Amino acid sequence: MATSAIHAAAVTFRGDPFLQDPATCLVYEPDAMIVIDGGRIIDFGPAGVVGKRLPAGTEVVHYPDSIVSAGFIDTHIHYPQTQMVAAFGEQLLEWLNKYTFIAEQQFAEIEHARRVAGVFLRELLRGGTTTAVVYCTVHLQSVDAFFEESNRFNTRMIAGKVLMDRNAPPALLDTAESGYRDSAALIGRWHGRGRQHYCITPRFAPTSTEAQLEVCGILRKEHPDAYVQTHLCENLDEIDWVMSLFPDRKSYLDVYAHAGIVGDRSVYGHGIHLTEQDLALCHQTGAALAHCPTSNLFLGSGLFRLFDAKQSARPVRVGLGTDIGAGTSFCQLQTLNEAYKVAAMNGTRLNAIQAYYLATRGSAEALCLQDTIGTIAPGFDADLVVLDRKATPLLEFRSGFCNDIVEQLFVLMTLGDDRAVRATYVAGERVYYRDTGCEPFRYPATAAS
Ligand code: GUN
Ligand code: ZN
């Protein structure tokens, strides 16, 4: 691949704006040049400086009225639920039975899985997301379909087969043994292939027996650089159910700790109703929480206490998640819009520096990928999103009244959505371009999608 460059304003972050003065964490370059070679950023700085040392023949793409950020990272999302997003009327446990478990049965068919994976990946890229932590279904082939599509786009994705051996329809159940066997086979097939990472994925404590959770702990020991994802303390009825299913455990999180699936590279969705002891355990072990505000509001699950989780005495790693299909937008701009409101309901204020950090570098830290993605700097993967300050008539009008970049970023996350994503770059390639006038994706849908 030849050297290329992007010329636009750019924002990125150093440090953690929940733990330090946010102003010191923002890196803002109003007239930046980002130079890319071999899928990575090789130079970044003021265009007047970097432009002078561009390798001869570098193709430069200029984006006026735009702000480039590291590609957004989504730390919690379910691709099979793309077909049932916006399902009316229920809270978590009824919603699972009435909608989710029905939809997920269709993924026994690999052609269906391929079709949905195609739609899903394009929706992520349209919203500026370049890495996601993804639940597939219990079917091994649902994982193959997803990684095949991700591999085609060369996106860095973290995904895995759901394990469930009880409390779900028979067609969605595996066993402790088959869950182990299928997960191990998928790890062998996909973990570390190109930019794909495997994630051991017990759905949540109520749908796994103790024996199956133990198997997940064994898989984690055998593959320490694989990820673990599950759900935790999302809904009060769910928590009561877990405590009745596991009466010997001190807390919901203790069920996972007992199985050996708490630690680095473990990502728990939600964590709304965690106790201080649980938060302290997350801090001590390096386990991460995925904050999913649109989902938590949509299902009426509760208000995640972000600033409590990030308390400087024992900060917990927190990433941002859409949790499609309980969440209602694929786009992290809209997710931040709702995160701001959830924080406000808790009597706190999520500023724009903290917000965009959460969607980029903070989520990379939650995934232990902070040296690879989530930041614009030499050596990092060239996964980037180009945001349009004037994407809609209202954004154009309101942006004209912004006094500084922090206000501009806040306006973009409050009023913006996928319309504000002008382009998305994956490993240096522009895989999505809104204004092309024809097919916006570099790889058009397959026959299946
Ligand atoms: N808990 C267990 N499964 C799910 C799921 O699919 N979505 C959400 N939001 N919570 C869950
Ligand atoms: Zn979820």
Q: pLDDT by residue (tens digit) across 103-126?
A: 999 999 999 999 999 999 999 999
> Residue 447 pLDDT > 70, yes or no?
no
pLDDT in tens, 281-294: 999 999 999 999 99
Pocket test for ligand 1, best of 82, 172, 230, 231 (most atoms within 8 A of CB): 231
Q: Which tokens go with 79?
A: 């691709």
Give the pair of three-digit tokens for residue 338. 């709702």
- For the chain, report the end-to-end CA distance as a whole number of angstroms: 28
Which of the ligands is closest to the CA of residue 238?
A: 1
- Of 76, 77, 78, the one to substitute when testing ligand 1's pocket (max ligand atoms within 8 A of C-beta) is 78
Residues whose CB is less than 8 angstroms from the CB of residue 88 and which lie 6 or more positions away in sequence, other chains included = none
Question: What is the pLDDT confidence band of residue 444, given thresholds at 50, 70 and 90?
Answer: confident
pLDDT tens column, 82-100 = 999 999 999 999 999 999 9
* Nearest atom in ligand 1 to 323's CA: 9
Which ligand sits nearest to residue 90's alpha carbon?
1
Whose alpha carbon is nearest atom 5 of ligand 1? Answer: 96
Ligand 1 centroid from CA 227, angstroms? 18
Give the count of alpha carbons within 13 A of 375, CB side only: 21
Whether pLDDT at 36 is above 80: yes
- Give the pLDDT confidence score for residue 427 in this predicted structure: 98
The answer to whether residue 448 scores a pLDDT higher than 70 is: no
List pocket residues of ligand 1, CB cut-off 6 Å: 78, 92, 96, 100, 203-204, 231, 234, 295, 323, 326
What is the band of 446 on the pLDDT scale with cuts at 50, 70, 90? low
Instruction: Give the atom of ligand 1 at the shortest distance from the alpha carbon of 325.
Output: 7
How far, in Å, is the centroid of ligand 2 from the Cα of 241?
17
Q: What is the mean pLDDT of the chain?
A: 97
Q: What is the pTM of this model?
A: 0.98
Query: Which ligand 1 atom minimizes the distance to the CA of 327?
Result: 9
Pick the residue whose CA is nearest to atom 3 on ligand 1: 203
Q: What percent of the chain has pLDDT over 90?
A: 98
Ligand nearest to the CA of 290: 2
* pLDDT (mean) for 217-229: 98
**CA dist 109 to 77, 79, 114, 270, 286, Å?**
21, 15, 9, 30, 37
pLDDT tier at 408, thresholds 50, 70, 90: very high
Ligand 1: distance of its center to the CA of 162 in Å?
11
- Nearest residue (by CA) to ligand 1, atom 7, is 326
How many angstroms is it from 447 CA to the middle of ligand 1? 30
pLDDT in tens, 119-157: 999 999 999 999 999 999 999 999 999 999 999 999 999
**Residue 316 pLDDT exceeds 80:** yes
**Alpha-carbon torsion, ordered 171, 175, 178, 181, to 10 deg:** 130
Ligand 2 centre to CA of 16 (Å) is 26
Residues 6+ apart with CB under 8 A from 438: none
Average pLDDT over residues 61-75: 99
| Longest alpha-carbon distance in the chain | 68
Sign of the CA dihedral running 10, 15, 21, 24: negative
CA of residue 258 to ligand 1 center, whole Å: 21
Write down the pLDDT at residue 445. Answer: 79
Q: Which of 100, 164, 230 to mutate to test the pocket of ligand 1 (most atoms within 8 A of CB)?
A: 100
- The DSSP bridge pattern shows strands 40-46 and 317-320 to be unpaired
Residue 379's pLDDT band (boundaries 50, 70, 90)?
A: very high
Distance CA 432, CA 436 (A): 9
